[in-house]
Amino acid sequence: MARKLLEPALCLARKVRLVCHEGKEKDLLAELALHNLDLVLADGPIWSGLSIKAYNHFLGECGITFFAVKGLAKHLSKNFPASLDNTPMVMPLAMTMLRCALDQWFETLSITPVVVVAEFEDNALLTVFGQAGDGVFVAPTIIESEVKTQYQVEIIGRCDIIKERFYAISVERILKLPAVVAITDIARHSVFPPGRDS
């Protein structure tokens, strides 16, 4: 997903060099406040209680897709989402926005995964465990074809009730840096076209 969002910066007439850091949001926001970073990509807006002066730029949202290895997916896709009851899953860490939304959705449908095989902070690692057949996993619907091809997994089903939201956070209220403008404009008009929710 990060690649899809950052790619427009690499296509500018004036070449830019991307330096990407991954870390805890509060640490990245501190670096942003010190002007050591130009932009933070996040799955939620900056918290209102933080002392950092920064601005949220909503990029878009999409639903989520459930994936599994071929043998497991074939069995589970027939009665999705009820088929997820008593099914092993690899999940995002508890207390993340996505995990909270998943837990609420499962509770609403009276679905209880038999075992949350593992919980991950890193989505790439979560996907690798899913690819190995350790359980069902989710990814943003907007990148489902890339996930299916790269990890050789199958789609079980989709959920448009749970939304993955993406924000660009900057110290600028009005974006001016060409690379940052390219990232936000393309995200809003091509990656997440208006009216597209999955």
Joined tokens for residue 175? 């974006």
Q: What is the rounded distance in angstroms from the CA atom of residue 43 to the CA atom of residue 62?
A: 11
What are the boundaries of each domain within the chain?
Answer: 2-60+164-191, 62-163
33: left (phi over 0), alpha (psi -120 to 50) or beta: alpha
**pLDDT value at residue 17:** 87
**pLDDT value at residue 194:** 65
**CA-based angle 24:1:79, to the nearest 5?**
105
Q: What is the rounded distance in angstroms from the CA atom of residue 168 to the CA atom of residue 186?
A: 12
Question: SS3 for 65?
Answer: strand
Buried b (16+ CB within 10 A) or exposed e, 84-103: beebbbbbbeeebebbebbe
* pLDDT tens-place string over residues 114-171: 667 788 888 888 899 999 999 999 999 999 999 999 999 999 999 999 999 999 999 9
Chosen CATH of 2-60+164-191 out of 2.30.30, 3.40.190, 3.30.70, 1.10.1760: 3.40.190
* pLDDT tens-place string over residues 155-165: 999 999 999 99
Q: Which residues of the chain have pLDDT under 70?
A: 114-115, 193-198
Provide the CATH topology of domain 62-163: D-Maltodextrin-Binding Protein; domain 2 (3.40.190)
**pLDDT value at residue 151:** 94
Asked if the domains at 2-60+164-191 and 62-163 fall in one CATH topology, the answer is: yes
Q: What is the rounded distance in angstroms from the CA atom of residue 153 to the CA atom of residue 14?
A: 38
**pLDDT value at residue 195:** 55
HEC assignment per residue over 146-189: HHHHHHCCEEEEEEEEEEEEEEEEECCCCCCCHHHHHHHHHHHH
Predicted model pTM: 0.85
